[in-house]
Chains A and B, each alone.
Chain A
Amino acid sequence: MNDELAQNKKYILVIEDDKFYGNIFQTKFTQAGYDVFVATNGEQGLQAAIQREPTVILLDLIMPLKDGFETLQELKANINLKNIPIIVLSNLGQENDIKKAKELGAVDYAIKANISLQEVVDKVSQYLK
């Protein structure tokens, strides 16, 4: 990866195990002119974040190896990464899930099936300015 380019371009880290969502995020945000990396589990996502600090992170909750809540906790525990805005995008929609995610430091929470892609883009854009 070109370091210079990487530093200039806004970088979105997507941590999402569902390949169809991953594909959509990849397509949409690349098209919008951002750097995108899709990690398929929490562990991979953490490593990726450590390797290159993203501008914003999109995080799924139900994932193999390390789930979203654990990942969120670890990201927030990392002194270098704790200020990166994290938006939780999940299909879990219970109030206590939302509450837990926000308590752990997520800036936003959305249920994928109940939100349009445009709304996701709008949410992400807020943190890319």
Chain B
Amino acid sequence: MKHRILPHGLLLAAGLGWAAAAAALPPPGSVVLYSDGTALKRLPGGSAAAAQWQDHRLRHLTLPSNPLLPPLARVGLDGRIQYREHLDSGDPDRLLRAAPGTRESFQTRRTTADGAVRTRHFECAYLGETVRPVLGRRDTLRRYRCERFTLHRKFWTRDVKEVVELDYSPRLGLVVERRRETARGRSVRRLLAVFAPGAYRYEKVRALLAGARGGKR
């Protein structure tokens, strides 16, 4: 089954000092589907630096163009803000144009609906480029590895909460594969399709997910 792949070259200016990393985000109305059932639909509005998306759980997400950063905000189906998050220190954008092996630590601050503020610590490394087919076309991917951790209050020891490896396609402006490990287990998420605006169909989604799960429904 063939799926309409978005035209590339839709370069949206980031305009925040990291235009080198500015990617061709799918246009509003596009739907991005991953093998674990996650899906994202790009909404109108926002910018390349903070694009608006709706996920398969009908939550509104503000996603930064830097794939290493978590969502900047998440709003539930009920319209309530679940959290806001911003970069507190560090320069993760440096990794978007760095040499392989470069590491960068950064912190974000997440404010949840109940007003609680939490500092989240990350350390990411740029592993280098790899070339492989993505949605039927050879693509150059940038590979990253990130750890999210907490620091012990007294001893400042690191307690790793999750390790994530990302393969990111600057051509698509999307993460095409994510391998994640937490205390609960390991998971892999692969890009299955990008539906151009108007091309999304439930039956296609269902068939693709069934195929990704080895035909199991």
A and B associate? no
Q: CB within 8 Å of A: which residues of B?
A: none
